Amino acid sequence: MLRRFLIGFIILFLGFSVLPQAQKAEASTISKKQLIIVNKKINKLAFYENGKLVKTYRVATGRTSRLTPEGTFYIREKIKNRPYYKHNIPGGDPRNPLGKRWMGLSKQENGGYPYAIHGNANESSIGKYISGGCIRMHNNEVIELFKKVNIGAKVVITTSKKSFNQLAAPYYKNIDISAPTFSYVSPVSDKSNEVSGITEKGATVTVKIGSKKIIKKADSKGKFKVTIGKQTAGKKIYLSAKDPSGNISKTKIVDVKDKTAPVVSGVNNNAFYNKDVKITFNEGTATLNRKAIKSGYVAKAAGKRTLVVTDKAKNKTTVVFTIDKTAPVIKGVSNNAFYNRDVTIVFNEGTATLNRKAIKSGYVAKAAGKRTLVVTDAAGNKKKIVFTIDKTAPVVTGVSNGTFNMDVTIS
C-alpha cells in the first residue's frame, strides 16, 4: 500500500514539474509559426506565418528613435475596443487613440506589456514618426491582423536596410531571401513598341519610363512582355522584379537605341557642294562633307551624284542628286509681256511664274524703254535677257480715200 502511494506521489510530482515546461514549449511553437517584424526605417510591419510572408502594413512609430524600443517581444494580450484609461475614454469611442484593437507586447513570454500594436483615431498619422512608443495601424488593418495573430507570436522591432525576408531568415528554415534577376531583356529601339524578357517565375515586373509605371506579372516560365509605346532614342527604361516572397531585384536599365535612318534635306542640284549648304537629319542640323564644303569645291562636271549620310548611331540614308550646269531657258519675255498676268517663264527645270508680286498685281510698266531680266535657277545658273517695253503706237500707211484693199500692207 505504501509502495503504491509513493509511486502515485512521484507521478503527480513529475506531472506538475513538467507542466510549465509544456506551456513554454507550446508558446515557443506558436512563436516559430508566427512572426511580426516592424522595421522603423520604413515604418512598415510584416506578418509571417509558417515561413511565408502573409502581408505588409504601414504603421506609425515613436516621435524619436528611442520611444519605440527595439528587440524581440511577444504578443501577450489581445483586447477589442480597449478603454483609454488615462483620459477615461471608453472603448469603441471614435476619440479613443487606441482604436478598435489592441495587442499588448511583452519583452518576455510571460512578462508585462507597456507597449502595444493598436489602431488609431487619427488615420492620417499612419506612416509617420508620431507616437509615444506604441505601434499604430489603420483601424481596418489592425482588425484584420488581430484575427490572424495568436497570443505568444514573436514580434521583432528593428531599424534596418534589409528586406523583410532577410530579417525573417534567422527565424525560419529555407526562407527565400534571393532577389530575382533578369536573365534576359530584349533590346529596345525608337521603333519598338514593347520590352520583353525573362526573370523569376511569377515575379511582378515594374517598368518605369519617366513618371509612368507599368506593372506586369511574369508567367510560369518567368517570361514577360510589356507594351511601352514608341520611345525616343536615348531615353532610359528602368525595370525591377518582385518575387512572390517579396524580394526585389536590382534595377535593370535599358537604353532606347536609335534605329531611325537620318532624314536628309537641302541636297539638290549641286547645292551640296556650296559652302553654306546644311544637311538636316533627325539628330539635328549638321554640315556634312566638311572638307569639300570648307574648300569651296564645286563639281566641274554635270550629272548624277550619290550622297550617303551616316548618323551617330550608324544608320544610313542614300540620296541621289544631280549637278546642274545648264543655264535656264526663258520664253515669253518680249516687249512688255513680262508684266502681263498670264505670262510664264519656261526654263529647263519645268515651268514657273517669276516675279509673282508684279504678276499678281497686274502691273504694267508705265515708262517705255529697255529692261533687264536675270533668272537664276535652283543650281545657281543664271540667264540674262534684255527686252524693250514699247509704248509707241503703230504707224499706219496705205489707207487713203476710204480705200482698204486686200493688197494693202501694214508696217
Structurally, the chain folds into a number of domains equal to 3
* Helices and strands per DSSP (H, E), number in the chain: 5, 26
Same domain for 231 and 138: no
Question: DSSP assignment, residue 100?
Answer: S
32/161 same-domain check: yes
DSSP lists the bridge partners of residue 61 as 129
Q: Which of 38, 134, 137, 218 is catalytic?
A: 134
| pLDDT at residue 297, as a whole number | 45
Write the CB contacts of 168 (distance below 8 Å, at least 6 apart in sequence). Answer: 35, 37, 46, 48, 51, 53, 175
- Domain co-membership, 101 together with 140: yes
* Residue 235 lies inside a defined structural domain of this protein: yes
Q: Are residues 302 and 235 in the same domain?
A: no
Identify whether residues 196 and 143 lie together within a single domain. no
Strands 101-106 and 44-49, sheet pairing: unpaired
Which ranges of 266-324 does DSSP label H, i.e. alpha helix?
290-294
Write down the pTM of the prediction.
0.56
Confidence (pLDDT) at 352: 47
| Judgement on whether residues 315 and 221 belong to the same structural domain of the protein | no
209 and 148 fall within a common domain: no
| CA 242 to chain CA mean position, Å | 19
Question: Is residue 118 flagged as an active site residue?
Answer: yes
Give yes or no: residues 70 and 125 share one domain: yes
Residue among 76, 118, 242, 252 flagged as catalytic = 118
Picking from 23, 41, 40, the residue whose alpha carbon sits closest to that of residue 31 is: 23
Among 171, 200, 225, the domain-final residue is: 171
82, 97 contact by CB (below 8 A): no
Domain end residue (candidates: 209, 227, 257): 257
**Distance, CA of 299 to CA of 146 (rounded, Å):** 88
Q: Are residues 155 and 251 in the same domain?
A: no
Whole-number Å distance between alpha carbons of 153 and 28: 8
Residues of the chain with pLDDT under 50: 1-2, 4-31, 272-277, 282-287, 292-297, 339-343, 348-349, 352-353, 356, 358-360, 362-363
Q: Is residue 328 part of a domain?
A: no
What's the pLDDT at 6? Answer: 44
How many other β-carbons are positioned within 10 Å of the β-carbon of residue 10?
A: 10
Q: Is there a domain that residue 44 lies in? A: yes
Q: What is the pLDDT of residue 404?
A: 52
Q: Is residue 191 part of a domain?
A: yes
**Residues near 242 by beta carbon (within 8 Å), at least 6 away in sequence:** 180, 203, 204, 206, 248, 249
Residues 194 and 160 in one domain: no
As a 3-state breakdown, the chain gives helix, strand, coil percent values, each rounded to 5, of 20, 35, 50
Domain that holds residue 32: 28-171
Report whether 135 contacts 61 (CB < 8 A).
yes
* Torsions phi, psi for 250 (to 5 deg): -70, 150
Question: What residues form DSSP beta bridges with 49?
Answer: 34, 52
DSSP label of 125 = G
CATH number, position 225: 2.60.40.10
Task: Tell me if residue 254 is catalytic.
Answer: no
**Residues 97 and 204 reside in one and the same domain:** no
Give the residue among 241, 230, 234 at the shortest CA–CA distance from 185. 241
Examine residue 381 and state whether it is found in any structural domain, yes or no: no
Bridge partners for 382 per DSSP: 376
Amino acid 156: pLDDT: 97
Residue 350 amino acid letter: G
Look up residue 146 and give its amino acid.
Answer: F
- 207 shares its domain with 167: no
Q: Tell me what pLDDT residue 40 has.
A: 97
